[in-house]
Structure 1
Amino acid sequence: MSAARAMLLPVVLLLTACGSGAPEADPLAERDPAVTAALADPLMADPDLTSQNRGNAALTGGGPAAGEIPPFKRGQAELDAARAAALDLVGGALRAAPAASAEQETSPADAATAAALVRALPWGRSCADKLGYTAAWAAKLPPALPVYPRGHVQEAAGSDAAGCRIRAVNFQTPVPGSEVVDFYATVAGKGGFALTAGRAGADLTLTGKAGGSVFALFVRERAGVTEVNLVTSGG
């Protein structure tokens, strides 16, 4: 064996040893299952929207989305799929929302943060400072008030503190705003909520109450996308 080959042999053996160890653990394997459920399809966020001006979005206090999040699809195929999923969820037909009976010039959904939005609601003022921000709250909405099927969650906040069982979720969908309101009129009506529809600034609104549970829905269309803020208390 030549001297050069003799010198190279230990190096080759060392590199072989370095590559023969056990593979690294998959970092996704230890992800909180609640967060996984919140971020998985159909609850998705659009990382490409982080550079947009979201001054009119209620939920901007949770920081940028993290993780392997699919992009927001806006085409006709996605719109049709979302509509079909919504109809399937409600049993094949939507009920029309009540006629608008209240109007105001500005919308609470113009608030800059989830806490500010909750504070603007009479039944949320004392709970606003208890909110925590994580996408997992989108998976913890009351069963009667889910995220619109295939809705793409942007941010979510909530609390389970005593007397402050609050959820505040911001999401987007390609489905027209009026259909989104009708969807919530349907699911909330089935859930026993007494409903009131109205307008607030640029938003269509729907509020409801059932026993100790209340909710407020704010829906607006902007740049070809419907943006929804849903806040629930109780339930």
Structure 2
Amino acid sequence: MTRSARTIRLPALAFALPLALIACGEPAVDDQQDATNLEADLGNGNAGDPALNAALAGQIMVDPTLTQSSNDDAIRPPPEPMGGAMPPEEAGRRADTVDPRTLKRAPAAAGDCSACRQADAALTLGALAERQTFPNAAACARTIGYSALWANRLPADLPLYPDAQLSEAAGSDQAGCRLRVVHFSSRATPQRLLDFYYTRTADTGYSADHRSDGRRHVLGGLRGGDAYSVYVTPRMDGVSDVDLVSNAGR
């Protein structure tokens, strides 16, 4: 090949190469059409889907240590704040609207607190439910499922505390079960939380039993076959952690 031939072909090659690269970067017509169809599908029909709306509006609960495993064995949130970059504790917390003048004083703690030790050993909401003493507690706990929506199906006389920041919720309606288990935090003192749940349950016919090991408090009661337990544990930052278990969910 002569020198003059090289000088002709090299500029041609340099000119063709950018055109080839530009062509590779352009999406295919089919891909563009698929993207348009997807946007249309999302904009039409799904906007009124109640399941989708509930999922988008609900609180997202993620355990960073269990993102690769089933949530059926999700670890209960720790009693102290986790490290790392996280949203402020107060984000999403509602106002405390409870008037303390409307509350009855919960009974003083008495006797041994075996329930406190059981709660310390229960690493999941399902395990905590399984340790309850009401009939079929273990059987119902084995059918438990996890979703924030279970918090909306607590009994009317055992609601979330008004300023509750929900961390986790579970429940079961299988085989006649009406099990509800939630974990939340509150800026209310342990005494106010105990007074609140004592007032709500005493007014609707529940008995009351209060136990404490000096740190954790457990308030529980019965009304026929219905039963509940409220576990309240203060944290060093002034927040109270609460686990609520009921077999009389809506």
Q: What TM-score does the superposition give when structure 1 sets the normalisation length?
A: 0.69
What percent identity do the matched residue pairs reach? Answer: 29
Structure 2 vs 1, CA of residues 212 and 33 (structure 1 numbering), >3 Å: closer, same or farther? farther
Query: Which one scores higher on RCO, CA 8 angstroms, separation ≥ 6?
Result: 1
Higher strand share: 1
Please tell me whether residue 228 in structure 1 is matched to residue 242 in structure 2: yes
User: Considering only CA atoms, is the larger Rg found in Structure 1 or Structure 2?
Assistant: 2
8 A Cα contact 1:153 1:171, kept in partner? yes
Structure 2: stretches of 5+ with no match in the other structure: 1-25, 66-70, 77-85
Q: 1:32 aligns with which of 44, 51, 67?
A: 51
Q: C-alpha displacement at 1:145, in angstroms?
A: 0.3
1:128-166, CA deviations, whole angstroms, 9 ceiling, x for partnerless residues? 211111111111101110011131111111111234211
Once superposed, which parts of structure 1, at least 4 consecutive aligned residues long, lie more than 3 Å away? 20-24, 26-31, 33-37, 44-47, 59-64, 70-75
Q: Hey, what does 1:202 align to over in structure 2? A: 215
Structure 1: stretches of 5+ with no match in the other structure: 1-10, 53-58, 65-69
Please tell me whether residue 166 in structure 1 is matched to residue 174 in structure 2: no
1:28-64, CA deviations, whole angstroms, 9 ceiling, x for partnerless residues? 7535289469x65xxx6787xx569xxxxxx993489
* 1: CA distance, partners of 2:153 / 2:127: 20
Please tell me whether residue 145 in structure 1 is matched to residue 164 in structure 2: no
8 A Cα contact 1:133 1:156, kept in partner? yes
Q: C-alpha displacement at 1:94, in angstroms?
A: 1.2
Please tell me whether residue 109 in structure 1 is matched to residue 119 in structure 2: yes
8 A Cα contact 1:60 1:114, kept in partner? no
Instruction: Show the 5 A alignment for 1:24-103.
Output: 24=40, 25=42, 30=49, 32=51, 35=54, 50=63, 61-62=73-74, 71=87, 73-74=89-90, 82-84=95-97, 86-87=98-99, 93-103=102-112
8 A Cα contact 2:72 2:146, kept in partner? no
Corresponding pairs, count: 205
Q: C-alpha displacement at 1:115, in angstroms?
A: 1.7
Match of 1:103, SS state, is coil
Please tell me whether residue 217 in structure 1 is matched to residue 236 in structure 2: no
Q: Counterpart amino acid of 1:120?
A: R
8 A Cα contact 1:107 1:203, kept in partner? no
* 2: CA distance, partners of 1:182 / 1:232: 18
Q: What TM-score does the superposition give when structure 2 sets the normalisation length?
A: 0.65
Q: Counterpart amino acid of 2:111?
A: A
Structure 2 vs 1, CA of residues 229 and 136 (structure 1 numbering), >3 Å: closer, same or farther? same
Structure 2 vs 1, CA of residues 203 and 145 (structure 1 numbering), >3 Å: closer, same or farther? same
Q: Hey, what does 1:121 align to over in structure 2? A: 132
Q: 1:154 aligns with which of 152, 155, 167?
A: 167
